[in-house]
Amino acid sequence: METIVAKLKFMKMSPRKVRIYANIIKGLSVNEAEGQLLLSPHRTRDYLLRLLRSAIANATHNKKLDIDTLYVSNVIVDNGPMTKRWTPRARGSASQIQKKTSHITIELGVREAKAKRFTIIAKKKKEEKPKKKKTTSKDSKHTHEDKTVSVEKPKEKRSGGPKIFSRKAI
């Protein structure tokens, strides 16, 4: 099986944050993965989207593969080097701040047959109910319909201000 690889190194973001969105696109076709990344709100998506498009370009330009047969076979997010900074704390002490980086690798695989992920099923039409006929009186040409009136119970008046919370419905 043929695999196409694209790598991004020293991305200034924690690997833990990147893995969440990397796992979303794992196993999807290239078009679906790109759609998922376009709709995600996190700033990780920009980096992953560029890397995915780079991998697609590698496949089409270098290997002459069809985009419709490609899928994301694996996404690996590794720790990169940390830059360590310090911030002042109470009583003259200091705390360490770790600015983490990530190394991301995307592997694309080739499926032999195009797999349809979604199937469209036609909905059954609902049977139409017979419409109610309007009755007319012989004396006038006005139409009359049966009207039902609902009567609500009057609310109890309490002393001590407005009722804010009620456990039981009246």
Q: Tell me, what's the pLDDT at 156?
A: 60
Rounded Cα distance, 114 and 31, in Å = 12
Q: Tell me, what's the pLDDT at 107?
A: 97
* Chain-centroid distance, C-alpha 12: 24
Domain of 49 in residue numbering reads as 3-110
Strand partners, 135: 144
The arrangement of strands across the sheet holding 102-110 comes to 3-11, 102-110, 70-79
Q: Tell me, what's the pLDDT at 124?
A: 75
Secondary structure of 111-166 as H, E, C letters = CCCCCCCCCCCCCCCCCCCCCCCCEECCCCCCEECCCCCCCCCCCCCCCCCCCCCC
Q: Tell me, what's the pLDDT at 137?
A: 54
Question: Looking at the domain assignment, is residue 61 inside a domain?
Answer: yes
Rounded Cα distance, 25 and 166, in Å = 47
Looking at every residue in the chain, the average pLDDT score rounds to: 84
What radius of gyration do the chain's Cα atoms show?
A: 32
Q: Identify which has the larger pLDDT, 112 or 90.
A: 90
pLDDT digits (tens, 9 = 90+) for 11-29: 999 999 999 999 999 999 9
Q: Tell me, what's the pLDDT at 129?
A: 73
Question: Looking at the domain assignment, is residue 134 inside a domain?
Answer: no
Q: Which two tokens stand for residue 126?
A: 């609902």
CATH of the domain at 103: 3.90.470.10
Rounded Cα distance, 132 and 138, in Å = 19
Lowest mean pLDDT among 7-11, 71-75, 118-122: 118-122
Question: Looking at the domain assignment, is residue 122 inside a domain?
Answer: no
Q: Tell me, what's the pLDDT at 130?
A: 72
Question: Looking at the domain assignment, is residue 90 inside a domain?
Answer: yes
Rounded Cα distance, 59 and 66, in Å = 8
Question: Looking at the domain assignment, is residue 89 inside a domain?
Answer: yes
pLDDT above 80 for 135:
no
Q: Which two tokens stand for residue 83?
A: 């830059």
Q: How many residues are given for the chain?
A: 170
Q: Is 27 in contact with 106 (CB distance < 8 Å)? A: no
* Backbone φ and ψ of 79, nearest 5°: -75, 140
Where do we find the tokens 């998506």?
45
pLDDT digits (tens, 9 = 90+) for 106-134: 999 998 876 565 555 667 777 777 777 66
Rounded Cα distance, 163 and 89, in Å = 50
Question: Looking at the domain assignment, is residue 48 inside a domain?
Answer: yes
Question: Looking at the domain assignment, is residue 154 inside a domain?
Answer: no
Mean pLDDT of all residues in 68-96: 96
How many domains does the structure of the chain reveal?
1
